[in-house]
Structure 1
Amino acid sequence: MGTQFIVSLSIILATFALYIGIAIYNKAKETSDFYVAGRGVPPVFNGMAIGADWMSAASFIGMAGTVMLLGYDGLGYIMGWTGGYLLLTFLLAPQLRKYGRYTVPEFIGDRFESHTARVIAAVCTIIISFTYSVGQLSGSGVVIGRLFEIDAKIGTMIGVVLIAFYAAFGGMKGITWTQVAQYTILIIAYLIPVIFMSLQLTGNPLPWLSYGKVVAEMQELDRQLGITEYVTPFTNGTKWQFLALLFTLMAGTAGLPHVIVRFYTVSTMKAARWSGAWALLFIGLLYLSAPAYAAFSRFILMKNVVGQKIDQLPEWTTTWINTGKLQIADTNGDGILQWKEMVISNDIVVMATPEIANLGIFVVGLVAAGAMAAALSTAGGLMIAISSSFAHDIYYRVLKPNASEQNRLMVARISIALATILAGIIALDPPGAITQIVAWAFALAASTFFPALVLGVWWKRSNSYGVTWGMIVGLAVALTYIFAAKYGGFTIGGIIDTGAGIFGAAAAFLTNVIVSLMTKEPSQAIQEEVLDLRYPEQMTYKDGQVWMR
């Protein structure tokens, strides 16, 4: 255990040194560096940064565990999160880049000529990003807690210190290049265990092609153990919940402010489209591997752990029990571990798999480093989104338009530190599993920004009253449904809290359209500006005609 600790700690410290070094080398000196990395990031590297931004703790740590425990029903997360990128890449990203602002609230404020809409959008950004960051900090606590064999809460506070430092120091410029390094580390860390497990179980090094054989064997094991078959659909929820979750994650992806801002860091609309294409490739490497990871982990647990004497379980079970994320109880008193006597948090499956599969201490350390890269990369992007919404959209654009660059950077860095500390305090006792908390953030994004941006780009009649009330109503409906479903047991069609976005988005679209039609239409200049967004950068729409620039 001592050797494993030293190896894991060495790998993680080496990667931390790399991230901090990159942040210092790429320190933001101007506001354009801090918010949009000077708009000079090449598409392929921006695609990697988007991938790292996207491969949050929920993706790296939680998703394979969710699929392992939910089976077929867990695929909604993979399909929703991946499909959302197609929506974003083709429906919104190029048009938002052409508009040329720093943040989503800035686009909404300028497109609708409304400080009220800008402030509401900034508040929504802070709420969404803050909710999402609680999940990331909770994930970092799981990793650090396991590494040091301490309570995950102490690990969370260590993660808070790290994120607050490098996000506040480097800004978007530092975070972009840090995320390129983090993506490289996390994808290597994710693929190596699943490739080795595929070789162990099937003799084939390509898990994407081989895990079907393991799933077939697992179905037989399920029948023998008398548990619900892994591939049976809608056993953990209704088909309406599956579809609602799918929509919530897709629309939420297309409305996530910290992801959208990544498309502002490139130079042109074409570069924005290519960034999305590269991001899909980099994201697909992990998302196509998650079902294989889940199947292999579940199979190994069922074959090698379930059915063993409880007093002779592998050593790794003791270390995970110490973190509070694994519980084992001999409920029937026979001294043998049954599947139903083991309560394993879906947040530890990826982290525990190298030990479960006995892949060696180096792989254990590598996965820990990859998990920290995933949590840190997304948390850093989220903190920039929170900071830019407060320091740029509220402080500079509304409260103090004459503020100097030095003051704006100082306010941005202070707001990052405060937001990270507050999110870390909540993450000490998270209100749900990582994937669940993240799904709430997506529900809020789907209910606020997705309708606002889609109508803002594609419907010239949408006005400031419509977008303002649309965001307010969408946010209120989504929050109400999340709380009512989680704490009050209230559901419609079996749709639980993670599918709340479908109700919030419907309410926001309806409110935006109805209020816009009942109030004064936008100015002719704004309507032409909206039509202009639909054409390539070398073309412009003016006076009812399309002109070459």
Structure 2
Amino acid sequence: MTAENWQLDNIWLGLGITFAVFSLYYIVAFINNKKTENATDLYLAGRSIGPLVNSLAASSTWMSVATFLGVVALIQQLHLPFVYMWIQLILSVPLLVMLYGASLYRMEVFTSVHFVKQRYGRQSAFLAAGWMLLIMLMYMVGQFIGIAKVFEVLLGLDYTLSLILSAVVITGYITIGGMKGATYNDAIQMVIMMVALLVPLAAILKAMGVSGYWFPPLGYGDMTDALLEKIPTFFDLKYEPRFYLSLFVALTIGTIGLPQLAQRILTSKSIKSARKVVPWFCLWVGIMFLGIYAMGFAGVYHFALLGLELSPEAADKTTLLLNLAYNPDWVSAFVIAGVLAAGVSTIAGLMIGVATVVGHDIVGVIKPEMNEKTQLKYGYFALAGTGVVSLLVSLNPPAFLITSIFWAFGLCATTITPMVVLGVWSTRINSWGAFVGSFVSGALYIVISPYVFGDLSVGTGLVSKLGFAQALISVPVGFIVTILVSFLAERVVVQAASAERSEAQELVERMHGWADVTRVRYDSSTWLLILCGLWVPVLLWGLVPW
């Protein structure tokens, strides 16, 4: 088998699997469309989702098409160090719930941008909305690229036709179903993903002669000696310590602020239900992570034995290539259903997030007098428009599937997470600090990335392309500037800052569930200064040439 031989021979299998999975998604969407009566139903599923379904939906949204495609390609390049990358990602939902999920739930907000509006005012909210739209667009581009590649395999069409077809079909069912339809579809898609990954992988490992094939996540140990003969450095930590710190800064802190995960918490029946999502989420994601790493390991082993060097584009298709090499076409078609499920579920969450930001947080702020019917209309327009914009951007995609996704994580860590987390835990953070910190750090992240001004970029190779090197500079700047400008505003615009602080004191204590408002619980400046001090060495280390 060559890297170019990656299409299904039987096109009817491709058509059949495509029709079957999307028919199911449309049925679920139509059922839930009848239950969508207001903006809360459309954007937050009426706050009615239980922990098991929500954990499956959150896991499904978190996975993305990159899990099956781009992530396995990263394992081809990073080898063992990829484990540290995934550990940082899996921390996101537990930290999200602990740091601000419960607080935002008590406020009955729709999104992080909605929180920013209530906490800091309109200007900061519009800035946050702009960043959020860019973040979600970058994230969504990677998903549409992956889905288009899957349609190439399924139907034998070229990339552009595959992209247009997939975008139309996906946008249609998400627009019809709203958040409730997307949530139940996401839960179904997570089950499809787990079965479509683990069962065919067991067959692949068995065909490779692995004795532990019956438990794929940990059953690939038989291959290690043969692999090390071909790639002796596979288990080496190939990067300097700063790389592993940058994973936490860019990925963990960035994922905390992602809107599609936050909205999963906000759709829960109660705060107690939201907290129960965490252990289930870790279980589902843990199973998938171990299985994906086994798939990546098997891919490295397979191509090392064949003596093939894969291009980034071919590496993205490793999961499909392995199944076409070792399993019959009908099994490969089922795996493709899992890849479709992964991509569609993430796109669903992102599209709902974009629609909420546009329909509720932007249009709703500009036209606060809108009734429920008009809000719903704008929400549906925003959903459809999101699909069109993502399609247009994806027509000329980046060469490496996962690049845009990780770049979005770093931008989110830089611009959204500081203003949200600091605003939840301190009444000393004000609109001046939030706005300037977000604007300055976000602009810095873009300027020093390799995609805008190449001469000003920091880091080298994959570390720079994925946004990790930039995050070590921009994220500390985001936190430090937000804190220091807030303190400066208290001295320069004394009266206005004092009035805003007084309002924030009551708001922050209420969102943490306190019945009695003392106005002093979250008023300390000491821990903020300590936090600045902790970020300074990270910033200085990030400035050192890689």
* TM-score (norm: length of structure 1): 0.86
> Deviation of residue 48 (structure 1)?
0.6
Would the aligned equivalents of 1:93 and 1:273 in 2 still touch at CA under 8 Å?
no
Match in the other structure for 1:426:
393
Which whole-Å CA distance do the structure 2 matches of 1:128 and 1:152 have between them?
24
Q: Is the 8 A contact 2:8 2:14 kept in 1?
A: no
Q: Does 1:376 align with 2:383?
A: no
Paired residue type of 1:345: A
Amino acid at match of 2:104: L
Q: Give, in angstroms, the shift of residue 480 of structure 1.
A: 1.5
Return the offset for 1:391.
1.0
Alignment partner, residue 171 of structure 2: 164
Aligned-pair identity (%): 26
Partner Cα distance (1:544, 1:475) in 2: 32
Q: For 1:222-261, what per-residue CA distance to the aligned partner results, in whole angstroms no more than 9, with x for missing partners? A: 25xxxxx222222xx5442343133201111101012111
Choose the corresponding residue for 1:283, options 275, 282, 285.
Answer: 285
Residue 232 of structure 1 pairs with residue 202 of structure 2: no
Q: After TM superposition, give the deviation of residue 207 of structure 1 in Å.
A: 2.2
Whole-angstrom CA distance in 2 between matches of 1:263 and 1:282: 16
Q: Structure 1 216/408 Cα, relative in aligned 2: closer, same or farther at 3 Å?
A: same
Task: Check the 8 A contact 1:485/1:496 in 2, yes or no.
Answer: no
Structure 1 gaps of 5+ residues are: 224-228, 307-337
- Structure 1 residues 520-535: aligned runs within 5 Å: 520-521=497-498, 522-535=500-513
Instruction: Tell whether the 8 Å contact from 2:359 to 2:379 is kept in structure 1 after alignment.
Output: yes
Q: Which of 258, 267, 270 does residue 268 from structure 1 map onto?
A: 270
Match of 1:211 in 2: 220
Residues 1:84 and 2:81 are matched in the alignment: no
Q: Structure 1 residue 54 and structure 2 residue 62: aligned?
A: yes
More deviation, 381-390/152-161 = 152-161
Shift of 1:544: 5.7
- Name the CA distance, whole Å, in 2 between partners of 1:344 and 1:238: 27
Higher deviation after alignment, 139-148 or 209-218: 209-218
Classify 1:185/1:493 alpha carbon distance in 2 versus 1 (closer, same or farther; 3 Å).
closer
Q: What is the CA distance between 1:446 and its match in structure 2?
A: 0.5
SS of equivalent to 1:29: coil
Q: CA deviation digits over 1:395-416, x for unaligned, max 9?
A: 11x2111112222222222222
- Tell me if the contact between 2:445 and 2:471 (Cα under 8 Å) persists in the aligned partners: yes
State whether residues 150 and 336 of structure 2, in contact with CA within 8 Å, keep that contact through their aligned partners in structure 1. yes
Q: 1:269 to 1:31 in 2, by over 3 A?
A: same
1:189 equivalent among 182, 196, 200? 196
Whole-Å Cα distance in 2 between the matches of residues 394 and 493 of structure 1? 38
Q: Is the 8 Å Cα contact of residues 97 and 265 (structure 2) preserved in structure 1?
A: no
| Structure 1 residues 244-263: aligned runs within 5 Å | 244-263=246-265
Q: Secondary structure at the match of 1:542?
A: coil
Q: 1:182 to 1:493 in 2, by over 3 A?
A: closer
2:24 alignment partner, one of 6, 18, 24? 18
Deviates more, 1:525-534 or 1:114-123: 525-534
Q: CA 1:545/1:526 → structure 2, altered by over 3 Å: closer, same or farther?
A: closer
Kindly indicate whether residue 83 of structure 2 is the aligned counterpart of residue 116 of structure 1: no
Q: What do the CA deviations read for 1:6-26 (whole angstroms, capped 9, x no partner)?
A: 223212211100001101100
> Is the counterpart of residue 491 in structure 1 residue 455 in structure 2?
no
Contact 2:303 2:309 (8 Å CA) reproduced: no
Q: Does 1:352 align with 2:321?
A: yes
Matched residues in 1 for 2:18 and 2:317: separation?
18
Q: Does structure 1 residue 132 correspond to structure 2 residue 139?
A: yes
Deviation, structure 1 residue 444: 1.0
Mapped to 1, the partners of 2:520 and 2:488 lie a distance apart of 28
CA distance in 1, matches of 2:429, 2:187: 38
For the aligned residue pairs, the C-alpha RMSD in angstroms reads 2.2
Q: Relative to 1, partners in 2 of residues 1:410 and 1:218: Cα closer, same or farther, differing over 3 Å?
A: same
| 1:202 alignment counterpart | 210
Q: TM-score, normalised by structure 2?
A: 0.87
Instruction: Report how far residue 130 of structure 1 moved.
Output: 0.7
Any idea what the Cα deviations from partners look like across 1:402-454, whole Å, max 9, x if unmatched?
Answer: 11222222222222222212211221221242221100110111011111111
Say if 1:460 and 1:531, in contact at 8 Å, map to a contact too: no
Residue 80 of structure 1: how far off its partner (Å): 2.0
The one-letter code matched in structure 2 to 1:402 is: E
Q: Quote how far apart the aligned CAs of 1:217 are.
A: 2.1
Offset at 1:266?
A: 0.9
Mapped contact 2:313–2:400 kept (Cα < 8 A): no
Residue 151 of structure 1: how far off its partner (Å):
2.0
1:9 aligns with 2:15: yes
Pair 1:341–1:446, CA change in 2 (3 A): closer
1:504-530 CA-to-partner distances (Å, cap 9, x unmatched) read 221111111011111124333421321
Moved more, 415-424 or 478-487: 478-487
Q: What is the SS of the residue equivalent to 2:282?
A: helix
Of residues 57-66 and 379-388 in structure 1, the stretch that sits farther from structure 2 once superposed is: 57-66
Figure out how many residues of one structure are paired with residues of the other and give that number: 500
Specify whether residues 339 and 176 from structure 1 end up closer, same or farther in structure 2 by C-alpha distance, changes over 3 A only: same
**Residue 303 of structure 2 is aligned with which of 288, 301, 304?**
301
Q: Structure 2: which 5+ residue stretches go unaligned? A: 1-6, 490-496, 522-546
CA distance in 1, matches of 2:77, 2:224: 14
Query: What is the distance in 2 between the residues matched to 1:87 and 1:351?
Result: 33
Letter of the 1:514 partner, please give it.
L
Q: Is the 8 A contact 1:450 1:505 kept in 2?
A: no
Amino acid at match of 1:11: I
- Give the direction of change, closer, same or farther, for the CA distance of 1:544–1:240 in structure 2 (3 Å limit): closer
Change (3 A) 1:492 1:147: closer
Does the 8 Å contact 1:388/1:412 carry over to 2?
Answer: yes
Amino acid at match of 1:231: F
Q: Distance in 1 between matches of 2:349 and 2:488?
A: 38
Distance 2:477 2:247 in 1: 17
**Aligned AA (1:348):** K
- 1:321 match: none
